[in-house]
Amino acid sequence: MKKTSVLLLAAIGLISCSKNREKADGYGNFEAVEITISSEANGKIKFLTVEEGAVVEPQTQVGLVDTLQLYLSKQQLIASKNTVSSKSATVLSQKSVLIEQLKATQLEKNRIHNMYAENAATKRQVDEVDGKVKVIQEQIKGVGTQNAPIISDLKSIEIQIEKINDQIQKSKIINPIKGTVLTKYAEPDEITAFGKPLYKIANISEMTLRVFVSEMQLPQLKIGQEVSVKIDGLKEMKSYKGTISWIAAQAEFTPKIIQTKEERVNLVYAIKVKVKNDGSLKIGMPAEMWIK
């Protein structure tokens, strides 16, 4: 009889605890924006310093794809540019000589025209000096025409050099954001290609908890509202402060991870909660949201 009374009291206690036990307002998993860094060049990886779990600063060069062939092509173009530039310099020097001749001839023209006005020069002399001026002017135009294609060649070579400079720059593997390396896909001395993934990185200093709430809970929530986020611990649940950053504009069916038929037909709203990470939060980790 005594044993039966003890069991009855224990059962009543369990029922009482189950009635008083509170349920979380939402359940979900942590996520973060994951960025896959890919190669922008083809060739052998000379070095790649990132390691899984390491924190990498933004705008830091973490690797390099071989640029030897690009460097040699650039030197070849620079040599061609120098050759073409020397041709242009020759043409321009000819133009300078003609300009000086034109100045001298213009002075002679003015002098003869003045003499002709005073009947000290003949019409023939006037015509001859006028003809000289026109010839030199045409020669200057001709020299300018010769230099035009040379200038075009120079611009074309400069564009090709800029193109190679861009390719050399893209051979450098620059880390875009501050974050933790999640996965490394390549190693030094491997051959890579344009678009081939090298590593995956994410900023996990602040995590996003994606949870789903019912229509009944929605009026209690607003963007910027503080909530409590809890994860499993060894003895008790660990709490974090969270801030609602996004609320879905329309409802959706309960996610497929909920298997019961009754709950699958319910409409829910997705929300995102920003949580500062102290190092314990991981991508994919389950958590609970409690509305304060």
Give the CATH number of the domain where residue 179 resides: 2.40.50.100
Looking at the fold, whether 96 and 108 belong to one and the same domain comes out as yes
Give the pLDDT of residue 254: 62
CA distances from 96 to 83, 91, 137 (A): 20, 9, 12
Provide the residue range defining the domain that includes 147.
68-169
pLDDT tens, residue by residue, 184-213: 999 999 999 999 999 999 999 999 999 998
Say what the pTM is: 0.70
- Measured at the CA of 235, the angle between CA 232 and CA 236, to 5 degrees, comes to 55
Looking at the fold, whether 86 and 212 belong to one and the same domain comes out as no
Looking at the fold, whether 146 and 233 belong to one and the same domain comes out as no
Give the closest residue to 150 by CA, choosing from 204, 206, 80. Answer: 80
Give the pLDDT of residue 10: 36
Give the closest residue to 189 by CA, choosing from 38, 67, 40, 43. Answer: 43
- Among 202, 220, 253, the domain boundary falls at 202
Looking at the fold, whether 159 and 85 belong to one and the same domain comes out as yes
Report if residue 121 sits inside a domain. yes
Give the pLDDT of residue 247: 94
Looking at the fold, whether 62 and 103 belong to one and the same domain comes out as no
Report if residue 16 sits inside a domain. no
Looking at the fold, whether 114 and 251 belong to one and the same domain comes out as no
Give the pLDDT of residue 255: 61
Looking at the fold, whether 79 and 164 belong to one and the same domain comes out as yes
Report if residue 6 sits inside a domain. no
- Domain tally, the chain: 3
- Quote the distance between the C-alpha of residue 201 and its chain's center: 14
Q: Which two tokens stand for residue 17?
A: 């605890």
Residues ≥6 apart with Cβ < 8 Å to 109: 129, 130, 132, 133
Give the closest residue to 289 by CA, choosing from 219, 233, 242, 223. Answer: 242
Looking at the fold, whether 51 and 184 belong to one and the same domain comes out as yes
Report if residue 227 sits inside a domain. yes
- Among 158, 180, 202, the domain boundary falls at 202
Give the pLDDT of residue 20: 38
Give the pLDDT of residue 12: 36
Report if residue 286 sits inside a domain. yes
Helices (H), the chain: 2-20, 68-117, 123-171, 261-264
Looking at the fold, whether 101 and 116 belong to one and the same domain comes out as yes
Report if residue 176 sits inside a domain. yes
Looking at the fold, whether 147 and 91 belong to one and the same domain comes out as yes
Looking at the fold, whether 109 and 156 belong to one and the same domain comes out as yes
Report if residue 9 sits inside a domain. no
| pLDDT tens track, the chain, 292 positions | 333 333 333 333 333 333 434 788 899 999 999 999 999 999 999 999 999 999 999 999 999 999 999 999 999 999 999 998 888 777 777 778 778 888 888 888 888 888 888 888 888 888 888 888 888 887 877 777 777 888 889 999 999 999 999 999 999 999 999 999 999 999 999 999 999 999 999 999 999 999 998 888 888 999 999 999 999 988 889 999 999 999 998 887 766 555 455 555 567 899 999 999 999 999 999 999 999 7
Whichever domain contains 223, its CATH number is 2.40.30.170
Give the pLDDT of residue 186: 97
Looking at the fold, whether 44 and 188 belong to one and the same domain comes out as yes
Report if residue 242 sits inside a domain. yes
